[in-house]
Amino acid sequence: MIRNGSLVAFPTETVYGLGANALNTEAIAKIYQAKGRPSDNPLIVHVANLSMVEELVTEIPPLARKAMKRFWPGPLTLVMPRSKKIPDCVTAGLETVAIRMPSHPVAIALIDAAGLPIAAPSANRSGRPSPTKGEHVVEDLDGLIAGIIIGVESQFGVESTVLDVTGKVPEILRPGGVTREMLLEIYPEVRVDPALESVDANRKPKSPGQKYRHYAPKAKMAVLQGSLSFKKEVALERLKHSQGRGVVLASDELARELPDVDVWNLGSYAHPEIAANRLFDLLRMCDARKIEWILAEGYKEEGLGAALMNRMRKAAGGHVIKEEKQ
């Protein structure tokens, strides 16, 4: 199907991908159409070996080689200078191309069998939470694509880290499965795109996808940040007085302080990777149950907590309730 120019969704270790032949313009057009994706948001090209990479770029920067050696195959996407072989619609006209070698055995087997690099965004309709289970893909794309390979639940549950390695200093454009702390081990100088942390809406992120209100549930959502006692106080107040159906997404530690009903569990506060793994599934559950408001507990921005918080803030459209510091 991939060789015919059709769309096939497949599991990866981060989230499910919606794949098409990366070298076929018409196949790529189908991706944008099935997802309802804005055409200025470029795609990630998935490869199974290094010789596929060599055809897609003008050069592999030394910075990129270092990261490939340590973190490929895995949840790290590298932005590199693109070659002429890659169609404009894949890169949305940029001079760079984003490439990733996934570690999921089914993903690698699919790319190998097709014998082609596979362009694949997350396999959700644009604006919906990313799919971490086969049923999420069916929910969003059944009838719109040729095939779905259903595997097990995604291991990470958040997307790959997007790292720009075209400059002197590597820069994180999207936090993800390979954490900043892990990247610091090979690049003491790594930086984070300042637009990711800025509240100034006019600052343009370098990864076009970061400007959209992504991952959004239908409910009105807010993220709670502060001490456990502050989060408990706000959540109790909300559960008592809010109109409409709502839920609190809380760690074990916070959930213990709250009534049993309308509190959904994100796992231990010490393990943001559990919360990251559950977040998108819980947001979809909110839609399915017609939840009208969501309060999500904020985590520390450490390790996978950084990716978790990036996705939570986006889902909430930037709405954060913060404890005032005395």
Binding site for ligand TXA (CB under 6 A): 12, 14-15, 17, 41-44, 75, 77, 79, 91, 94, 96-98, 100, 120-122, 159-160, 162, 173-174, 206-210
Contact letters for Mg ion, residues 45-84 (x by CB under 5 A): ----------------------------------------
Q: Nearest CA to 214 among 99, 128, 147?
A: 128
- Residue 263 binds which one of ligand TXA, Mg ion, none, with CB within 5 to 8 A depending on kind? none
Could you tell me if 42 and 82 are in contact, meaning their C-beta atoms sit under 8 angstroms apart? no
Strand ranges for the chain from DSSP E: 8-10, 17-21, 44-46, 76-81, 96-100, 118-119, 147-148, 161-164, 171-174, 191-192, 220-225, 246-250, 263-265, 293-297, 320-322
Label residue 303 left, alpha or beta by phi (over 0 means left) and psi (-120 to 50 means alpha). left
The residue type at 84: K
Q: Minimum distance from CB of 50 to ligand TXA (Å)?
A: 18
- Report the DSSP pairing between strands 171-174 and 161-164: antiparallel
Shortest gap between Cβ of 173 and ligand TXA (angstroms)? 5
Report angle CA 35, 130, 197 to the nearest 5 degrees. 110
Q: At its nearest, how many Å lie between ligand TXA and the CB of residue 269?
A: 25
Give the nearer residue to ligand TXA in terms of CB position, either 82 or 232: 82
Say which entry of ligand TXA, Mg ion, none residue 165 contacts (CB below 5 to 8 A, set by partner kind). none
Identify what 305 binds: ligand TXA, Mg ion, none; CB under 5 to 8 Å per kind.
none
- Smaller CB distance to ligand TXA: residue 138 or 321? 138
Is 108 in a helix, a strand, or coil?
Answer: helix
d(CA 182, CA 184) in angstroms, rounded, equals: 5
The edge-to-edge listing of strands for the beta sheet with 76-81 is 147-148, 8-10, 17-21, 118-119, 44-46, 96-100, 76-81, 161-164, 171-174, 191-192
Task: Give the span between the Cα atoms of 90 and 83, in whole angstroms.
Answer: 12
Query: Min. distance of Cβ 228 from ligand TXA in angstroms?
Result: 32
Secondary structure letter of residue 192 according to DSSP: E
174 binds, among ligand TXA, Mg ion, none (CB under 5 to 8 A by kind): ligand TXA
CB of 253 to ligand TXA, least distance (A): 29
Six-digit token string for 210: 């970061």
Is 14 a binding residue for Mg ion by CB under 5 A? The answer is no
- The CB-of-264 to ligand TXA minimum distance in angstroms stands at 24
> DSSP string spanning 120-131?
--BSS-TTSPPP
154 binds, among ligand TXA, Mg ion, none (CB under 5 to 8 A by kind): none
C-beta closer to Mg ion: residue 207 or 225: 207
CB of 60 to ligand TXA, least distance (A): 15
Output 232 or 313, the one with its CB closest to Mg ion: 313
Which residues in the 109-148 window bind Mg ion by CB under 5 A? Answer: 122
Which parts of this chain interact with Mg ion (CB under 5 A)? 122
